[in-house]
Structure 1
Amino acid sequence: MLQPRLLLRRSQQTTPCKYLSIRQNVTRTYATITEPVNTDPTPMLAAAGFAPPAKAEKSSATFAMRTYKPRTPGVRHLKRPINDHLWKGRPFLPLTFSKKGHGKGGRNNSGRVTIRHRGGGHKRRIRTVDFTRMTPGKHTVERIEHDPGRSAHIALLNEEATGRKSYIVAAEGMRAGDVVESYRAGIPKDLLDSMGGVVDPGVLAAKTAWRGNCLPLHMIPIGTFIYCVGSAKERGAVFCRSAGTHAVVISKEDKGSQNRFVQVRLQSGEIRKVSRDACATIGTASNPHFQHRQLGKAGRKRWLNIRPTVRGLAMNAADHPHGGGRGKSKGNVNPVSPWGLPAKGGYKTRHKRNPNKWVVTARERNHGKRRVK
C-alpha cells in the first residue's frame, strides 16, 4: 500500500501528524500561489437593493498537494490534490451506463484514424449529469463523487419531495448535507409571499443567490461568480463546466422590452451575450487544484485513453515533413503538421507585395480587363 504524505510544492513549513489509519508520519507542506481570490461567491447584498461587490484583490492562496514516499519510480513524482471528502464507494448505478467503443482508438465508422493519440484506457461508466436543472424544490446533497469523464467533481442530489436522485456538477466548497434549489421554473409562491407579493430584487437575490443554486441570469446580481452557464432559454449548461472555472456577470441590458441579454465574462476573458433566461449556478466549479496534479509516469496517461505523441523531428522523412536528415534537423522548413499545414501562428500565406493593388497589363488594357498580382 502506498504511503501518502503531503509535500511542499514551493515552501514553507512542515508539521508531523497522523493520516487516518496509516500509522506513519505524514508531512504537510504548502504551496503559495498568487491569484484573484473571492472568499465567498455570494455577494454582499443590502436589504433594499444590491450593488456590485468590490473587485477581488490579488492575495495569496495556500493549498497542499498529496505526494507519496518514492517506493517505486512511478510514485516519485506523483502529486494529487487532497480530496478526502469524496465518496469512496461506487456511483449511483441507475444514473450511469457503460461507455462503449473503447477499442476504436480514435477511429470512425470506416476504420480510419480521425483523432490521433487515442487508444486503450480503463473501462468507464458515463454519469448522467443534469445540466438543465428544471426541477424546482429543495434538493439535499447526499455525497460528492469523482467522475472519470470530467475534471470537476459531481454531487448526488436527493429531491426532498419525491426522493428522485440526480447528478450535478459540484460547486467548490459543496459538501454532503447542503441544500440546493433551482429557480428556473419561476419564483416559489412562499418566497413571493414573504416579500409581500412584490418582487424586491435585493431581497430576492439575498434569498436565492447561494452556492449551488441554479437561477436564470436575470436573477443573479452583477459581479457574482457563476459556473455551468447556459446560452439559451431552454438549453442546459454549456460554459464553465471544467474544474475550477467560473464566469462573472458583467452587466444587464436595460432597454425595456429589448432587455433580452446579459453580458458574462467567461474564464478565457471573452465577454459574451447570453439570454437573460439562460441557466447559471452560483459559485465556482469544484476541484480547482486539478491543474496542479502530476501523473508521475507514462502509464497513467495510458489509463486515461491517451497514447504517446511522437515528435515529427524524430520520424523518418516518409512519415513527417520534419523527419529525416542527418542529426537533429527538420530540413529548413517552417513548422507544419504531418499533412503540411502550418502549425504555428503568424504564418505568412501572402506575398510581400500589396495584394489589393490593381495592376493592368498592356494586353488586358486592350481587352478592358484587370487582374490582381
Structure 2
Amino acid sequence: MLGVRALRTFSSLVAPSSSRVSNNVLRTTTNSLARTYATQFAPSAKDQPKATSLDVDTNVFKTYKPVSPGIRHLRRPINDHIYEGRPVRLLTASLRKHGGRNSHGRITVRFRGGGHKRRVRLIDFVRTEPGEYDVIRIEYDPGRSAHIALVKARDPKAEGKTKWKYILATEGMRPGDVVQSFRMGIPDDTSVLRTRTIRPGNVLPIRSIPTGTVIHCVSLSPNGKALLVRSAGSFAQVVHHEESGRYSHVRLQSGEIRKVLQDCCATIGRVSNLNWKGRKIGKAGRNRWLGWRPRVRGVAMNAKDHPHGGGRGKSKSNKHPVSVWGWATKGKRTRKPGPKGPKNSNKMVIRERPRGKEKRTGGS
C-alpha cells in the first residue's frame, strides 16, 4: 500500500497539472497562414492524405473555459482581420422578416422565425464597371457564411454606389489589395499581362481563364449575376475549354462537371472564411439568435402534422420514411437524371456528383 501511494506521488510530480496547461481563452494567431494563392494544380504534385471530420486544426479556432454550459462546446474561427465597426449605410437595406411564410401566409421554410435584427448587405455580383478597386476592409456579413470586402474605385469621377461596393472576399484577401473587373473584356494594351489579370478577386470571362484555375462566383448567363459557388470556403475549377468556343467545363464543389458558356464570367480564387464549417454553435439559444427555431421530429408530432406522427408508441410503425409532405426520403432521387436520362433532363450536366459507393471511394 505504501508503494502504491509513493508511486502516485511521484507521478503527480512528473506529470504537469492540466489546470496549469489550460488557459482562460485558448487563442492562437493565424500568422502561420501564408497569403498564397494556388490558381493552378501542379500535375506533378503528390496526393495529399484525405482529411476526415475529426481532423480539426485547433490553431485557427477560439475555444472558451467552460464556466457555463453554453460555452463549453462553443468554437469559433479566429478572424482578427475582420472590421468590428458598422457597415456602410449606403450599401445596406432594411430586412423585414416573414418567419418562413410566403405572401399567402403559408409556411414555405419550416423552423424559421425570430432572430437578431439585421440589415441586408447589397453585394455586387455583376461587377460590370471596369477599373481598379482598392480593398478598404474585410467585414462580417450576418446574411451569409462568407466574409465581404468593401472596395473603393480609383476613378475620381465615380460617385455613390459606383465608387463604393461590397464584394465577396476571396481567401487571403486583406485591406490594401487591388481587384479589377475584366467582364467587358481584356484590353489590347501590352502592359496588361496575363499574370496581372489572373489574380484572386479579379473577374474574367471563362474563355480567358486558364485550365485548372480555381474560381468562384460563376454566372450562368453572359450578362447575369453570379449564381454558383458563393458559400464560405467553396470553389470550382475550370477543367476544359471546348474547341467550338461555345462552352467550357467546370467542376463544382460537389464533384459535378457541367457546361458553362464561355461568355459567362467568374471570379479568381476561393471564397473566404474557410474554417466556417468547423464552428460549433454551443447552445440552442445561439441558433435562435440566428433565426432558427427548434427542429421537431416527425414521430414526436400528432398524426395530423406528420405521416410519422400519432400512435401510443415512439415509432413510425411499419411505414417507409417520408417527409412531412409524404415524399420518400433517405436516398430518394429528387433531381432528374443527367445526360443519359430522359429528354427533359439537364443537358448541361456532363457528369453528376458522386453518390453512394462512388462517393466513398473518392469518385473513382
Tell me the alpha carbon deviations over residues 151-177 of structure 1, each in whole angstroms, 9 at most, x when there is no partner: 100000000113511010000000000
Q: 1:297 to 1:263 in 2, by over 3 A?
A: same
Q: 1:262 to 1:329 in 2, by over 3 A?
A: same
Tell me the alpha carbon deviations over residues 66-85 of structure 1, each in whole angstroms, 9 at most, x when there is no partner: 11122221111111111110
What is the aligned partner in structure 1 of residue 15 from structure 2?
none
Query: 2: distance between equivalents of 1:339 and 1:43?
Result: 45
What is the aligned partner in structure 1 of residue 94 from structure 2?
98
Query: 2: distance between equivalents of 1:283 and 1:57?
Result: 21
Q: Which amino acid counterpart does residue 305 of structure 1 have in structure 2?
A: G
User: Are 2:68 and 1:82 aligned?
Assistant: no
C-alpha deviation, 1:53, in angstroms: 5.5
Q: Which amino acid counterpart does residue 321 of structure 1 have in structure 2?
A: P
User: Are 2:149 and 1:150 aligned?
Assistant: no
Tell me the alpha carbon deviations over residues 174-221 of structure 1, each in whole angstroms, 9 at most, x when there is no partner: 0000011111122235xx2337xxxxxxxx432210111111111111
Q: Which amino acid counterpart does residue 249 of structure 2 have in structure 1?
A: Q
What is the aligned partner in structure 1 of residue 165 from structure 2?
166
What is the aligned partner in structure 1 of residue 180 from structure 2?
181
Of the candidates 214, 232, 235, which is equivalent to residue 225 of structure 1?
A: 214
C-alpha deviation, 1:343, in angstroms: 2.3
Of the candidates 276, 286, 300, which is equivalent to residue 262 of structure 2?
A: 276
User: Are 2:306 and 1:317 aligned?
Assistant: no
SS of 2:82's equivalent?
Answer: coil
What is the aligned partner in structure 2 of residue 368 from structure 1?
none
Of the candidates 242, 245, 250, which is equivalent to residue 253 of structure 1?
A: 242
What is the aligned partner in structure 2 of residue 71 from structure 1?
67
Query: 1: distance between equivalents of 2:71 and 2:169?
Result: 29
SS of 2:70's equivalent?
Answer: helix
Query: 1: distance between equivalents of 2:246 and 2:313?
Result: 62
User: Are 2:110 and 1:116 aligned?
Assistant: yes
C-alpha deviation, 1:284, in angstroms: 0.2
Query: 2: distance between equivalents of 1:177 and 1:303?
Result: 33
User: Are 2:254 and 1:264 aligned?
Assistant: no
Tell me the alpha carbon deviations over residues 303-339 of structure 1, each in whole angstroms, 9 at most, x when there is no partner: 1111111111112334322223333221211112233
SS of 1:194's equivalent?
Answer: coil
Of the candidates 193, 198, 207, which is equivalent to residue 209 of structure 1?
A: 198
Of the candidates 37, 47, 54, which is equivalent to residue 57 of structure 1?
A: 47
TM-score calculated relative to the size of structure 2: 0.76
Question: Structure 1: where are the runs of 5+ without partners?
Answer: 1-13, 18-23, 31-37, 45-51, 196-203, 348-373
Residues 41 and 211, structure 1, Cα contact 8 Å, conserved in 2: no
C-alpha deviation, 1:106, in angstroms: 1.4
TM-score calculated relative to the size of structure 1: 0.74
Residues 172 and 283, structure 1, Cα contact 8 Å, conserved in 2: yes
Residues 243 and 286, structure 1, Cα contact 8 Å, conserved in 2: yes
Q: Which amino acid counterpart does residue 186 of structure 1 have in structure 2?
A: G
Of the candidates 223, 226, 229, which is equivalent to residue 237 of structure 1?
A: 226
Aligned-residue identity in percent? 54
Query: 2: distance between equivalents of 1:307 and 1:270?
Result: 32
RMSD: 2.6
Residues 140 and 148, structure 2, Cα contact 8 Å, conserved in 1: yes
Aligned residues: 298
Question: Structure 2: where are the runs of 5+ without partners?
Answer: 1-17, 30-34, 334-364
What is the aligned partner in structure 1 of residue 286 from structure 2?
300
What is the aligned partner in structure 1 of residue 39 from structure 2?
42
Q: 1:87 to 1:333 in 2, by over 3 A?
A: same
